[in-house]
Amino acid sequence: MKEDGELTGPWVSELGYDQLPKSYIVAGSASVDLHPFAPELRAIFGPETGAAGNAVFCIDSVPTVCLVDGLRLASDADVRKSEIRNFCERLWNQNLARILLVTSSDRLEVWSVDNPEADPKEYTLEQRQEAERTWSVSGLVGGEALRGRDGWFDPQRRVDKILLDNILVLVGKLTSNGIGAPQARRLIARMIFITYLEDRGIVGTTYRSSRNVRPLFDLVCERDRKGLRKLINALRKDFNGDFLTSTESETGWEQLTDSSFSWLEQFLSRTTLRTGQTSFWRYDFSQIPIELIAGIYETFLSSRNITSEEGAGGGAKRDQGAYYTPRLLADWIVELALDGRDILAEKIFDGACGSGMLLTAAFRRVIRAYEVRAVSSGLEPVADFATRRRLLLDQIYGGDIDEDACQLTAFSLYLALLSDLNPSDLIELRKGGHQLPTLTENIRRGAEGDFFSEESEKRNNERFTVFLSNPPWRKLRAQEPAARTLEDWRSRQSEPRPHIPKRQIATAFALGAADTLAPNGRVALILPVTPFVSGDPTQRDFRVHLLGRYSVEKIINFSDMRRLIFADAVHPFVVLIATARPPSERFGSIEAERFEYWTPKTDISLAFGRLAVHGGDRDTMPSSALITDEAQLATRYWGSNADIDLLKRLIRRGRIRELAKTGWIEAKGFHAKDEDRRRSPESWYIDVPEWMSLAPFLSANMLPRDLPIVPKQSLSSLPFDRIARIPAYHDRLFDGPRVLWTDGTHPIDGVKAIYADQPFSFQHSLAVLAAPNTETGRLLARFLTAYLRSPMGVWLLLLLSGSVASERPKLHIREALDWPFWSLENHPRPDAARSILSEVDQILARVENSHELKQSRAWQQVQPEVNQLVYSYFQLTDNEIAMIEELATFAGPALQPTSLRYGALKRPLRESPTIEMMRRYAGTLAKTLLRWRNATGGQGSIQVATWTGRRVPIGAAVLTLGDQPCADKLDDDSIIEVISQALGNVIGNSEDTLLTVPDVAAIDGNQIYLVKPLIARFWMRRCAIEDGNQLALQLQALSRERMSA
């Protein structure tokens, strides 16, 4: 007889799951009850009916692959298939694991959880290598599992998306049948609550018999209005009146039309309401996570203005400016908020609780903390109803101006209270013996829940220990009531009064939260990124006030994932973790303070629900960096220390804006339209001057992508008779030597700069730097064009354009003016510089003199030569060139992917590094350390070997101090044990963290292990330079410590 976790066949070892024992959870093991997803694992391993899982493989503790032993399934093929599909349906409802593996002695079956229409993939023993390549840990993290399987992992097929869309359509249908939208939302919420009680077995045969009521579905199908009212009344009496009570004016079940009942019936019958087709998977609220239901209702609230025809992708948001907080992010933020604190002693508050997604995640985390403590003490691993009730009332608080939101918060918390109860509590509930607590004191609503009201301010003052929120993001209009309430709140504050940039209400929440916290209380906030990365003075003033009220612990910038985490969100976000200063200690010195700046980038495994922040994406910065004139957080998003040192060296000799001293002009083209209502309509337009109508015109969409000049065919006649206005100095902007580019450039294309000296006009969407009409001006303009088009242009765009670290990546002319540029007067070698200008001029002339059909090809051939001349002009070293070219080549095309499909995610930056790339890394690392050795008078040799795993995507640069080098080990999983032991001995890490703790240096004897994931962006030469510099400094510090000891 096999043990619960044993699986037939060689597949667990072949896929490398057993190489990471703490990530590979087997049924019946003690680790189940201690796991962050213990309730979900128990449901997988021990269902009341149907097939049971044998093991689960987790990535970052998130269940990702579920494994079932084929011997446990029926021998009859049809019955077996039904068992597997039912198991997949349960996993789909959990919304965690995406893959089901069914093992046997001679074959492996792989099933998609999200797509029931996808055929399973089978592998025989002879196909083990193919199975390993695709479904091993390396295949999952590296993305091979996604290749050609977009349909398997389509986010739109997941339970949250399907359920949300059905709810939105159902609201629309009920509204069209005469029910007000708020009433429709509440009715659906209550229906889901009752369905939840039924699916969880709380309201079952026992309860119904004792109360003489019938199942919800039967009542809806039969349009039994009185029966529904009887059921509601019984539940209200037995469980609690808070959530199930309706107002006198509210449409009740008795007033529903037959058409409304028909739509409710379809919703409960697993019908896809938008298409009318029957869904393959059925909602099962005994499996759907509570946080997911709360999250769905957060989107439900956010999308209240979406019609049934627009659907979930309509992109509207509610007037308050709130967005759905995905469970993935909510759980992650809750962990950060409670990290290092006594979870069972906290009082947690959300001042803009929405539907309670974050509060529900926090409540679930509090329950888990209690249960883990109970397991450690040898007690029952499941908190009973009374304990959960006490934890809820003692520790969870919220408020919202939106009464609908507060009702749904109570709903979500009630669901969390009732989930995964022990059998004795379930029996008591079925008898009607437990009542849900009243939450009116914990969850304040309407005027009482307005965070900025005077009443709330007094009640909340220094009351809580954790403020956890995703507040609304919105710039308030000056005359709206919310703006007046905010200004009244601000006027009540002591000096210096909070600075709210551009009436962005999210920043007001951030500053006001400090007053609700007891000493050493912590905030964990989801906020728009602009107030943190913008160099605008008013945003910088906000950061001054933020530092005055808090000691900032962490700022996590999620810009690269902005399209993947918050559905339809236009603006990217940061997570702020900070400790409130006592009022008496505010606005003191921050000279000694530092904070962690995390800049996570999209990983391929985000498609499996993995949200990881690698060690290479974590940095420490002085708090003063938040309030300097430079937007340092924007630069640090992609820039390393070596990048910033190089940037400082280049800027010391001048910037582009300094060309203005020698007669250069920066501007943009003419405005074709500007109907400013502050002016009379008669002043909106002017006739096009004759000189302008006769001159050629360059449309922005005709700007050549693959040429630095303007081909004749790109010019056309001016398409306007009247325009808004002509820019000043138009004679210089529209004629003579000048550099143009689109004012909004994506790094994937580079800066599409062109040189021109022929006359033509252009619109405001093109930026221009016009040079003096001299030979030096002409040469500098042609060189500047080459400079902007070179990898240096992409590098500078990534470092200095604030939009790259926040919103849509682009280059504005005001940003370009701050780029480094050396005039001939400031150049350290002016004669050599002038020679380079002449060479670039001659090369461009060859391109210009080519046949128009061959110009693109001609430029492509000479561009590497031109790039080298640009590097020579700025006197770049080989290492600096490598740093620039790698960032331009790898990061530019990978910025801010738009979907989780394989084609969008698979970019060189995220792929596995080649052996050649890793060896270049090792060579550069050795050279960097040798330069440090020579500079500091050190002795001895340094050898660097390259290690890579096969089934587990981990690599290491192994440094040996001495003359006996360590050998390379490639595609060798034996390294996992060695690395795990080294990390465990030195820094306490274990093998389950290997996938998320790269760039960790573990010193073990005369060897140093630099551990990294097998992702290309961690193995570039620029990383070797940064790693070598950091390691040298760490070794020097360690040496000083040993000498002083």
- The residues spanned by each domain of the chain are 11-152, 158-288, 485-638, 656-894, 912-1044
Band (pLDDT 50/70/90 cuts) for residue 316 is very low
Sign of the C-alpha dihedral, residues 733, 739, 742, 743?
Answer: negative
* β-strand pairing of 348-350 with 464-469: parallel
Q: What is the pLDDT of residues 890-941, one digit of tens each?
A: 988 888 888 888 888 888 899 899 999 999 999 999 999 999 888 888 788 8
Most distant CA atoms of the chain, gap in Å: 99
With a CB cutoff of 8 Å and minimum separation 6, the contacts of 690 are none
The answer, yes or no, to whether residue 556 has pLDDT greater than 80, is yes
Cα–Cα distance between 1001 and 959 in angstroms, integer? 10
Q: What is the pLDDT of residue 459?
A: 92
- In which residue are the tokens 């007001």 written? 508
Q: Which two tokens mark 943?
A: 């050898």
The C-alpha angle with vertex 802 and arms to 798 and 805, in degrees rounded to 5, equals 65
Which of 57-66, 224-233, 630-639, 873-882 has the highest average model confidence (pLDDT)?
A: 873-882
Contact 475, 504 (CB under 8 A): yes
| Torsion of the alpha carbons at 767, 772, 773 and 778, rounded to the nearest 10 | -70
Cβ proximity of 711 and 855 under 8 Å: yes
| Lowest-confidence segment of 128-132, 206-210, 313-317, 1007-1011 by average pLDDT | 313-317
Interval 55-66 mean pLDDT: 92
C-alpha–C-alpha distance, residues 331 and 340, integer Å: 16
Mean pLDDT across the chain, nearest whole number? 87
The partner residues of 398 in beta bridges, in order of sequence, read: 350, 443
How much is the pLDDT for 156? 84
Is residue 61 a contact partner of residue 28, using CB atoms and an 8 Å limit? Answer: no
According to CATH, the topology of domain 485-638 is Rossmann fold (3.40.50)
Residue 382, both tokens: 């499941």
- The mean per-residue pLDDT over the stretch 534-542 comes to 90
Tokens 């199975």 map to which residue?
131
Residue 1004: per-residue pLDDT = 76
Q: Considering only CA atoms, which of 1029, 1003, 764, 973 is closest in space to residue 132? A: 973
Supply angle C-alpha 1018, 1020, 1024, rounded to 5. 85
**Residue 231: φ, ψ to 5°:** -65, -45
Unique residue bearing structure tokens 């730097």: 769
Q: Is the pLDDT of residue 284 over 70?
A: yes
- pLDDT value at position 282? 85
Contact 631, 802 (CB under 8 A): yes
**pLDDT score recorded for residue 1037:** 72
Return d(Cα 288, Cα 43) in angstroms, integer. Answer: 11
872 and 1007 in contact (C-beta within 8 Å)?
no
Instruction: Report in angstroms the alpha-carbon separations of 890 from 434, 597, 895, 1019.
Output: 59, 22, 9, 11
Q: Are 686 and 634 in contact (CB under 8 A)?
A: no
The mean-pLDDT minimum among 12-16, 244-248, 316-320 falls in: 316-320
Residue 424 pLDDT: 82
Q: Which residues of 436-470 are buried (b: 16+ CB within 10 A; e: fewer)?
A: bbebeebbbbeeebbbbbeebbeebeeebbbbbbb
Q: Measured between alpha carbons, how far is 849 from 842 in angstroms, rounded to an integer?
A: 10
What is the mean pLDDT of the segment spanning 708-737?
A: 92
Give the DSSP letter of residue 655. Answer: B
DSSP secondary structure letter of residue 670: B
Q: What are phi and psi of 2, to 5 degrees?
A: -75, 145
pLDDT value for 319: 42
Residue 676 has pLDDT above 80, yes or no: no
| 536 exposure class (CB count in 10 Å sphere: 0-12, 13-18, 19+) | middle
Per-residue burial over 611-626, b = 16 or more CB atoms within 10 Å of its CB, e = otherwise: bbbbbbbbeebebebb
Give the integer Cα–Cα distance in Å for 194 and 244: 10
Residue-wise pLDDT tens digits, 571-610: 789 999 999 999 999 999 999 999 999 999 988 878 887 7
Mean per-residue pLDDT, 319-328? 56
3-state secondary structure of 178: coil
CA atoms within 13 A on the CB side of 840: 31
Confidence (pLDDT) at 429: 77
Residue keyed to tokens 């995390």: 598
* Residue ranges in 239-356 assigned as alpha helix (H): 241-244, 258-268, 290-302, 327-338
Checking if the pLDDT of 141 tops 60, the result is: yes
Q: How far is CA 624 from CA 621, 633, 643, in A?
A: 8, 11, 20
Residue 846 has pLDDT above 90, yes or no: yes
CA distances from 281 to 90, 221, 271, 708 (A): 9, 20, 10, 55
pLDDT band at 249 (very low <50, low <70, confident <90, very high): very low
| The pLDDT value given to residue 748 | 67
Cα separation, 739 vs 708, whole angstroms: 9
Distance CA 566, CA 526 (A): 11
pLDDT band at 280 (very low <50, low <70, confident <90, very high): confident
The C-alpha atoms of residue 872 and residue 326 are separated, in whole angstroms, by 49
Q: What confidence tier does 681 reach under pLDDT thresholds 50, 70, 90?
A: confident
Position 1041 scores a pLDDT of 64
Residue that wins the pLDDT comparison between 988 and 402: 402
Omega before residue 496 within 30° of 0, cis: yes
Determine phi and psi for 617, rounding to 5 degrees: -105, 20
Residues 6+ apart with CB under 8 A from 184: 170, 171, 174, 175
Instruction: Outline where DSSP puts E strands in 106-189.
Output: 107-112, 121-124
Note the pLDDT tens digit of each residue in 796-811: 988 887 666 566 556 6
Contact 786, 838 (CB under 8 A): no
Q: Does pTM surpass 0.75?
A: yes
